[in-house]
Amino acid sequence: MTQFDPTRFAGRRALVTGASRGIGAGIAQRLAAEGADVAIVARTVSHHPTLPGSLRATAELLAAHGGRVATIVADLSDPEDRARIVPEAVDGLGGSIDILVNNAAAAIYQPLAEYPLRRLRLTYAVNVEAPFEMMQAVLPGMLAAGEGWIVNLSSATARLRPGPPFTQGAGPRMAVYGSSKAALNRLTNAMGDELWGSGVRVNTVEPRGGVMTEGASALLGSLPDDQIESLDEMVEAAVALSDCPPDRTGQVVVSLDLLAELGR
């Protein structure tokens, strides 16, 4: 059962990265539908050369719910762009950020023996450095308010693969992406530990199965039905962590496990 309340996030300001399509767009729409003012971030405001969805299209959907919407065009691999995101979100929404959702990610899959260092640096810039800087940037406002919610999006590829013997598959090709998400998980746990008692909750959520967004479908093709979960399930789990109690912090949770625990 989905928990939906049109006033649940009333008076709160949220910032969602990677919100032009997929999970990020879904989370932003859900937060706006439940009363939040929302700032959304993506690299371009209009169309992507190969994928449907855009920052402008997401903003139009959010605006229909009546709250404030701020659109921020920024490349999360660029330190100068990253530095202006939170200040622009604060200006656009009229106050400090209550909810930060670090959803944007870079995923480049190929064998490690041939993996270019520049691609590794790009992956870590977007998947580790950017969310870390976003967390640091929103913390002063959250600490002053005595509460806040930070939700980082992770992946099951962060886990070590069992072996030897090792089974054939795409695991090694996803290792750079997975290692960046493992680093994000560790930072989430440490930030939750460091901020324990402050009222700021910091958590990570990862899907149990593949969420076949436009980007995932382009990267992975198709998956068997028993390895897929819906976009709505992943959004529901992320939104649950955007309104969780103070004693749920520093955790790395699996989407469907969390929903089962909460009875949703």
Please say if the pLDDT value at position 124 is more than 60. yes
Region 100-114 average pLDDT:
96
The verdict on residue 3 lying in a domain is no
The verdict on residue 7 lying in a domain is no
Task: Please provide the DSSP assignment of 115-151 as one string.
Answer: --HHHHHHHHIIIIIHHHHHHHHHHHHHHHHT-EEEE
The verdict on residue 5 lying in a domain is no
Q: Give the model's pLDDT for residue 10.
A: 98
**59 and 26 in contact (C-beta within 8 Å)?**
no
The verdict on residue 6 lying in a domain is no
Task: Please provide the DSSP assignment of 24-41 as one string.
Answer: HHHHHHHHHHTT-EEEEE
pLDDT tens, position by position, 74-89: 999 999 999 999 999 9
Q: How far apart are CA 97 and CA 137, in angstroms?
A: 9
Question: Residue 136 to residues 22, 79, 115, 208, 219: CA-CA distances in angstroms?
Answer: 25, 14, 30, 28, 31
- Provide the pLDDT confidence category of residue 49 given band limits of 50, 70 and 90: low
Which structure tokens are listed for 114? 């041939």
The answer to whether residue 177 is catalytic is yes
**107 and 177 in contact (C-beta within 8 Å)?**
yes
The count of C-alpha atoms lying within 13 angstroms of the C-alpha of 58, restricted to the half-sphere facing its C-beta, is 35
Which structure tokens are listed for 239? 């939104």
Region 228-249 average pLDDT:
94
Other Cβ atoms closer than 10 A to 96: 18
The verdict on residue 195 lying in a domain is yes
199: CB partners within 8 A, 6+ apart: 142, 145, 146, 147, 148, 246
pLDDT tens, position by position, 156-211: 999 998 999 998 777 889 999 999 999 999 999 999 999 999 999 999 999 987 67
Q: Give the model's pLDDT for residue 227.
A: 59
Which structure tokens are listed for 207? 């899907």
Burial of 215 (0-12, 13-18, 19+ CB in 10 A): buried
The verdict on residue 203 lying in a domain is yes
Ranges 175-179, 226-230, 250-254: which has the least confidence: 226-230
Print the domain residue range for 28.
13-262
82: CB partners within 8 A, 6+ apart: 74, 76, 129, 130, 133, 134
- Tokens 């691609």 locate to 119
Q: Give the model's pLDDT for residue 26.
A: 97
What are the φ/ψ torsions at residue 153 (nearest 5 degrees)? -95, 125
The verdict on residue 1 lying in a domain is no
Count of the separate structural domains present in the chain: 1
Q: What residue type is assigned to position 120 of the chain?
A: L
- Provide the pLDDT confidence category of residue 3 given band limits of 50, 70 and 90: confident
**17 and 82 in contact (C-beta within 8 Å)?**
no
Q: Which of 109, 115, 124, 177 does the annotation list as catalytic?
A: 177
Please say if the pLDDT value at position 214 is more than 60. no
The verdict on residue 2 lying in a domain is no
- Residue 211 sits in a domain whose CATH number is 3.40.50.720
Write the DSSP symbol of residue 55. H
pLDDT tens, position by position, 20-45: 999 999 999 999 999 999 999 999 99
Q: Give the model's pLDDT for residue 46.
A: 82
Q: Give the model's pLDDT for residue 167.
A: 85
